[in-house]
Amino acid sequence: MDLPDLPDVHELARQDTEDGVQQQIVGAIVDHGGEILLLRRLPADFRGGAWEFPSGKVEPGEDLMTALHREVAEETALTIARVTGYLGSFDYTSRAGRHNRQHTWSVTVDGADDVRLTEHDAYTWVRADQEHPVSDDLKKLISAHFG
């Protein structure tokens, strides 16, 4: 479901290729009644113990929107009801040394009370006025979301 104010995912992919991005990542700020969902990475993972949004790699042959829906479902068992905005992207280097770019959208979901984790060990819902125990890159996206 594309909204008029969302960027074209094919244009984002073209720009990523032009910029030498080796792996596209998608992330979702899941908003439920003004609270957003944060997930805590498993201790043994890269950046273990860090809090993050539902996110993950775009698989070969997938576009960004398909990957966004899949990642939210895989990591939380939630289904995206609506993509409400594009919040931007940031680049980082993976543990393997790959140039990654994470694109992040605001979304709403069906059944927000039914979070079931598969790749994280904890989750929490936080409001705009609460401290967000996340990286500076994610803080900027949260700020853009609550704007």
For the chain, domain boundaries: 9-146
3-class SS letters over 81-134: EEEEEEEEEEEEECCCCCEEEEEEEEEEEECHHHCCCCCEEEEEEEECCCCCCC
Given a cut of 70, the residues of the chain with pLDDT beneath it are 1-4
Tokens of 96: 């393997």
Which of 92, 107, 105, 122 lies closest to 22 in space, CA to CA?
Answer: 92
86 touches 12 (CB < 8 A): no
- Single-letter amino acid code for the residue at 76: T
SS3 57: strand
17 touches 60 (CB < 8 A): no
The pLDDT value given to residue 2:
44
* β 55-57/51-52 pair status: unpaired
To the question of domain 9-146 being in CATH 1.20.210.10, the answer is no
Kindly report, residue by residue over 37-69, the tens digit of the pLDDT.
Answer: 999 999 988 788 999 999 999 999 999 999 999
The pLDDT value given to residue 147:
87
The pLDDT value given to residue 52:
96
